[in-house]
Structure 1
């Protein structure tokens, strides 16, 4: 979702280096406008001040501007310690002293789509709301990756059943299994190592009924290989997740299933995308007045917003 920001900055002549954690660095390597990627040696959680200060010392004098995309205190700390003259970001988490150019952070209920939210760091206006993110992989590299995974372009579907945020964003595993059994091509399951058990829960009953219908690659591929699998799929079915946005950026046909979150805030910006969200379905009753709740787990305990999205409905959009 930051790719349109990168494209805008590069178009006006800025040479871009992106600092990112290792698990997201491959995303920026798939953006031709990014000249270099620095992989941050930080663990998840904690300020890790000493590690940030060491990296900041090595970066000092190397950069003119820092665009700080995350809203956290620690993300603004590194460019401050590196004495980067212009540091642009949104207000939040007591960052006033760390940022030299501060944008007012709108409340979550009034926040624009995330692409426009990030693009505004460039000084752009709301006209960027529909800017479409784009990722690019060399075709030969994609074919090589497919060969290593035993896949043939266009001859499989991809399921991305995970959602790091929580269960209130995950379509039920049993629904994924039922859908897989109704498809005319095999299914490749993608996700992190944390989602291996979830993907196996989907694959096991399917392969018991139709041997070889589901290939579980969760936690077994590099992110670059997962990107290649998505880029060459017949279609991608996912929750509102990072891999949903990857499919959108590759322009792959996709069905995106939303529950506790909102496609008004984080839509898949892809002309081939179909979005399922019972909140805006007038035929669904009783209406989902609770959505979007943006909670990790359903506060009401029923998760109707996802449980009532039927496999047949998803199938009708493929």
Structure 2
């Protein structure tokens, strides 16, 4: 069986989509699963053993371009796919499998794409978690009617490669054999997901102060460099030599491998939160405007810190009150106490 998947464009959603590929492999062990995704997602897909081929989606997020979608679909006809799974909810995301002549095209209903899907689900309320929605697509509507019908939701697991110690030191000035706290202070979604940098700095200071061998690595993209620098500035100067800004310096594959070496990772509800969970480290996840009921990290070894503000969750990119109280009222002292109560070896 040959399967095509149109993947989501966000790194976090992409990591969670691995549960679908894992479920499909359980049902069809010999299946070849090709996944079409944007350029920034391809290296993550290459760390998923279930994926046969990662195919570039050349169109940017939000770009319609009907002619190019028709060309891509026509190009894929030669691969003779038996089934297509369309994970984004948009109308345009379903066009390429349609133009590719794939007879069975399954996905969640969205943007009135009734005729363009041959098989669809529309009962999202019965599948609160996104990973359950993805996993359910491996089954027919009659087989799985709600989240409880899923016997098990697979846990995403990315392949990792331990970095060479000498290379890591020469490239990033880090010691891969040190106990490390990873910090991921960014969030592509927007400011309502970003815990204040000074709060992260307080956690980092406490972590570093209790053991002179410890290091802090700050991860992120080019967009997170300013936040990372602000975070470091809020840490006492005498600890700066053990705080390393990796934001904007690593590839996504390097970030995957380095996150896997961390003792703990503290992060916002973000793509790197899901990457951290998928490499098996202990995760402390901060949820401000979003909810742990929808996109929690896919690991049992996590501490979820969630706002209890009356307006939570709003799922908005900008705070309607201009306060982001959902994040600011999650004080660093409270978070540190919760971390220490869960994992004594962090003290």
Query: Does the pair score TM above 0.5?
Result: yes
Residue 50 of structure 2 is aligned to residue 33 of structure 1: yes
Q: Which of the numbers 112, 115, 123 marks the counterpart of 1:97? A: 115
What residue in structure 2 maps to residue 205 of structure 1? 234
SS at match of 2:137: helix
Residue 30 of structure 2 is aligned to residue 6 of structure 1: no
Residue 38 of structure 2 is aligned to residue 21 of structure 1: yes
User: Residues 60 and 30 from structure 1, CA distance in 2 versus in 1: closer, same or farther, beyond 3 angstroms?
Assistant: same
Q: Which of the numbers 158, 181, 184 marks the counterpart of 2:182? A: 158
What residue in structure 1 maps to residue 60 of structure 2? 43
What residue in structure 1 maps to residue 325 of structure 2? 304
Unaligned residue ranges in structure 1 (runs of 5+): 280-287
Structure 1 length as normaliser, TM-score? 0.89
* 8 Å contact from structure 2 (residues 225, 248) kept in 1: yes
Q: Deviations over 1:176-221 (max 9, x none)?
A: 1222222222211111111121111112332645222321111211
What residue in structure 2 maps to residue 292 of structure 1? 313
What residue in structure 2 maps to residue 285 of structure 1? none
Residue 132 of structure 2 is aligned to residue 116 of structure 1: yes
Moved more, 8-17 or 251-260: 8-17
CA RMSD of aligned residues (A): 2.1
Unaligned residue ranges in structure 2 (runs of 5+): 1-15, 209-213, 340-345
* 8 Å contact from structure 1 (residues 115, 129) kept in 2: no
* 8 Å contact from structure 1 (residues 61, 84) kept in 2: no
**1:249 Cα deviation from its structure 2 partner:** 1.1
Residue 90 of structure 2 is aligned to residue 55 of structure 1: no
1:44-83 aligned within 5 A: 44-62=61-79, 63-83=81-101
Residue 192 of structure 2 is aligned to residue 174 of structure 1: no
Structure 2 length as normaliser, TM-score? 0.82
What residue in structure 2 maps to residue 252 of structure 1? 281
Q: Deviations over 1:86-112 (max 9, x none)?
A: 1111111121222111111526xx651
**1:145 Cα deviation from its structure 2 partner:** 6.9
Residue 240 of structure 2 is aligned to residue 222 of structure 1: no
* 8 Å contact from structure 2 (residues 232, 240) kept in 1: no
SS at match of 1:18: strand
* 8 Å contact from structure 1 (residues 61, 83) kept in 2: no
Moved more, 2-11 or 53-62: 53-62
Instruction: Supply the distance in 2 between the matched residues of 1:254 and 1:50 (Cα, whole angstroms).
Output: 44
Q: Deviations over 1:251-294 (max 9, x none)?
A: 10110011110001111121210111132xxxxxxxx2211111
User: Residues 93 and 276 from structure 1, CA distance in 2 versus in 1: closer, same or farther, beyond 3 angstroms?
Assistant: same
* 8 Å contact from structure 2 (residues 19, 153) kept in 1: no
Instruction: Supply the distance in 2 between the matched residues of 1:210 and 1:117 (Cα, whole angstroms).
Output: 44
Matched length:
307
SS at match of 1:5: helix
What residue in structure 1 maps to residue 154 of structure 2? 131
